[in-house]
Structure formats: structure tokens, C-alpha cells
Amino acid sequence: MGRLTFILGGARSGKSTYAEEKARELGGDSVLYVATSESKDDEMHQRIEKHRTSRLSTWKTLEIPTGVARALLAKRRGTKVVLLDCVTFLVANHLMQAAGPQGDAFAELSGDPFDTHIEAKVVEEIEALVAYVQEQRVEVIVVSNEVGLGVVPPYELGRAYRDILGRANQILARHADEVVLLVAGIPMKVK
């Protein structure tokens, strides 16, 4: 049986830095970094590069937008620690594939963001990740944004995203051995 640490916080709260430090402490050189973001513009490309340079060069990296648990089962041989950064993008990837605008970010949605099949697919993915942790002898650190503390988004896609990510975060927190909330770079143990 593995161990799950769930690290949560707002944008620029220090989540990734804290998670990387924890992964380094627990796994040293034997860390698999699972990156779910996709480089779709220059700004995102720069953010990804910044994250890459902050990691130890000995760490392995798995870049995958969805299907994380299945990929981990195929990839994680000999790894002590898996760091998944982050669920925020994982949920966004599912939502954008199913209902997001195609091509132009300001175009009309291609589907209903509140379609229950989208949330069901995200829940299925998160539950597969939890099952992976429970079935493997591995330390898994998962990073996600807390988006439920801010203003209600004024548009459908934003509200659907907030709701689905909130559900994913609840599942992870319920099953986690440890939950840490970061506020302005300060970690606070929640569970």
C-alpha cells in the first residue's frame, strides 16, 4: 500500500516548490515527475521551462494530459516517489477536450461544460489514481489549486471547471494520508 500526500493552495502560493522539496526529501534522485500541463502558447511554454529547471536533472519526467494512473502503471518501475503536478491542469484538459472552444480560446463552446459525463470521467480518473496509490508501494505527492475560495466565475466554463475541480480535490483529500494547504508560501497541515 502506498501513501498519498495532497498539496493544495491558490495560484502562486508555493505549492509546486513545497511539493518538489518534499519529493526531494523522500525520493532523492528516484522521483517520477508527472506533468499534466500542455504548452499551447509562449507563456505556458515559459512556465513549463521554469518548472523543468527547478527539478533535479536525475528525475524522470512523464508528460501526460490525461490517463495518469494507466500511464503510471506502465512507467513507474523502480521509482520511490511520484510527484503529480497538477490536478488543476488534468481537470482543465478533460473539460477542454469535451466542451472547450476549438482553436480560438474566445470562440463558442463546443459542448455543454455541465454535461455530467465530463465530471464522471474526471471522477473516474481521480479514483483510478487513488486506487493506484492504494495498490502500489510508492509515495505519491499530488498538487492542485484550491479554486473554491474566490469569486464565482461569471461564465459557464469557469463555473463548471470550479465545480469539477472541487469534486476532484474532495476525493483526493478524503483518501490522502496527509493534506497540506499553502498560503503565501506557508504550509499548513490540514490532515
Closest CA to 61 of 101, 23, 88, 94: 23
CA 78 to chain centre: 22
> Containing H/E element for 142?
strand 139-145
Of 51, 94, 117, 175, the catalytic one is 51
Residue 191 and residue 143 in contact, taking contact as beta carbons nearer than 8 Å: no
Give the burial class of 31: count Cβ atoms within 10 A of its Cβ; 0-12 exposed, 13-18 middle, 19 or more buried: buried
CB 81 within 8 A of CB 32: yes
CA separation for the pair 7, 179 (Å, rounded): 6
CA of residue 151 relative to chain centroid, distance: 21
Give CA 70 to chain center in angstroms.
15
Confirm whether 175 is a catalytic residue.
no
Distance separating the N- and C-terminal Cα atoms of the chain: 19
Pairing of β 81-85 and β 139-145: parallel
Enzyme catalytic residues:
51
